[in-house]
Amino acid sequence: MKVLLLAGGQGTRLSEETEIRPKPMVEIGGYPVLWHIMNIFAAASFREFVVAVGYKGEVIKEYFLDYHPHASDVTVHLSTGQVQYSNNKAPDWKISLVDTGLQTQTGGRLKRLRSWIGNDTFMMTYADGVSNIDLKALVAFHKVHGRLATITAVRPPSRFGGLLLDKDQVVEFKEKPATHQTEEGWINGGFFVLEPGVLDYVRDDGTAWELEPLAQLTAAGQLMAFRHEGFWAPMDTLREKLYLQSLWESGKAPWKVW
């Protein structure tokens, strides 16, 4: 099953990092967040990726073009220019990097990948969020329900401490750890399983996947929600990037399922 990764946005809320690189290439622990997300899928045996690039897409292409030599021992024959690679440690992934335009919206990027999708069920997510989601359970859920689309519903991380009030008096204060998920409400956590028929709900390049297509799929009874109660975190801001970095450095990053 192919995995589509939307990696073409400008990441304006993380401008401290994205002036020189696209957001999927912002590093956590010395590796792009895109690499982390791919490892989440690869750990569940999904290893064929189609990456929709746009803003500074050349940075993503150069990273993967250089991956093999950087992950190998290299012998160079200076007189002939011949190069030999050995002891390669690169993962066995197949990655297609597809230009989908600079200003194309998320739905438009998805539709531009029609020829890469074919007629099979596929997975899709954003290249800026990590999770310890059980992807095999997600796919099984999708197949059982037989709809066009399954979205992963997550509870947003709690960014602030909790107050319990009695009228105007604070009777309990609890500073919640950043890994805590709120107990109310569900939001779009990405990690979709989709049928090719969803592309019929995307009008053109200007269509945001999160607006008309999902609303229309909902109205048609074609959108199911897989509830993920575990860890999920976006990387939209510098604060969130630094938080993920601290988790990685602690050796206890919840999304490291490989």
> What pLDDT is recorded for position 192?
97
> What pLDDT is recorded for position 158?
65
> What pLDDT is recorded for position 174?
57
pLDDT digits (tens, 9 = 90+) for 69-83: 999 999 999 999 999
- 209 pLDDT more than 90: yes
- Domains of the chain, residue spans: 2-249
Architecture of domain 2-249 in CATH?
Answer: Alpha-Beta Complex (3.90)
Among 235, 188, 190, smallest CA distance to 21 is for: 235
> What pLDDT is recorded for position 11?
83
Beta carbons within 10 angstroms of residue 250's beta carbon: 8
What confidence category does residue 15 fall into, taking pLDDT thresholds of 50, 70 and 90?
A: confident
Average pLDDT over residues 184-188: 81
pLDDT digits (tens, 9 = 90+) for 140-162: 999 999 999 999 999 887 655 55
Q: Among the residues of the chain, which ranges form H helices?
A: 15-18, 33-43, 57-65, 67-70, 106-112, 114-117, 135-145, 212-219, 238-249
Among 41, 60, 126, 65, smallest CA distance to 98 is for: 60
- 183 pLDDT more than 80: no
Chain mean pLDDT for the chain: 91
Q: What is the pTM of this model?
A: 0.89
> Is residue 200 exposed (0-12), middle (13-18) or buried (19+ Cβ within 10 Å)?
exposed
Average pLDDT over residues 231-237: 94
What confidence category does residue 19 fall into, taking pLDDT thresholds of 50, 70 and 90?
A: confident
pLDDT digits (tens, 9 = 90+) for 85-137: 999 999 999 999 999 999 999 999 999 999 999 999 999 999 999 999 999 99
Average pLDDT over residues 158-186: 57
CB 90 within 8 A of CB 68: yes
Q: Report the DSSP beta bridge partners of residue 2.
A: 48
Q: What is the DSSP letter of 148?
A: S
What confidence category does residue 18 fall into, taking pLDDT thresholds of 50, 70 and 90?
A: confident
Beta carbons within 10 angstroms of residue 90's beta carbon: 13
What confidence category does residue 12 fall into, taking pLDDT thresholds of 50, 70 and 90?
A: confident
